Amino acid sequence: MARTAERVESLIDEDPEMRDALQTVLDRAEGGRVTWEAVSDDLTTGQWSRLIQERVLEKTGDGGCKVNDPGDVAAVVGGASAASVTDGGTTTGASSASSTSSDVDIDDEDSSWSVYDKMAAVGALGLFAGYSLPNVRNAIASVLDIGLGPLEAALPFYAVILVLSLFTGLYSTILQDNLMDTSKMAKYQERLQEIQEREKEARERDDEEELDRIQEEKMEAMGDNLGMFKEQFRPMVWIMLFTIPVFLWMYWMIREHPGELGTMVIPLVGEREWTAGVAGPIQVWIVWYFLCSMGFTQVIRKTFNIQTTPDTS
Tens of each residue's pLDDT in the chain, 313 residues: 457 888 888 888 888 888 999 999 999 988 888 998 888 888 888 888 888 878 888 888 677 888 888 888 888 888 887 777 655 544 433 333 333 444 444 554 445 678 888 898 899 888 888 888 888 888 999 999 999 999 999 999 999 999 999 999 999 988 888 887 767 677 777 777 888 888 888 888 788 877 887 787 777 766 666 766 777 788 899 999 999 999 999 999 988 877 778 888 877 778 888 888 887 788 888 989 998 999 999 898 888 777 666 555 5
The 3-state DSSP class for residue 193 equals helix
Distance CA 158, CA 112 (A): 40
Q: Domains in the chain, ordered, with CATH?
A: 1-88 (1.10.10), 110-182+220-304 (no CATH)
Q: Give pTM, 2 decimals.
A: 0.56
Neighbours of 163 (CB within 10 A): 14
How far CA 155 is from CA of 165, 261, 262, 274, 283, in Å, comes to: 14, 10, 12, 16, 21
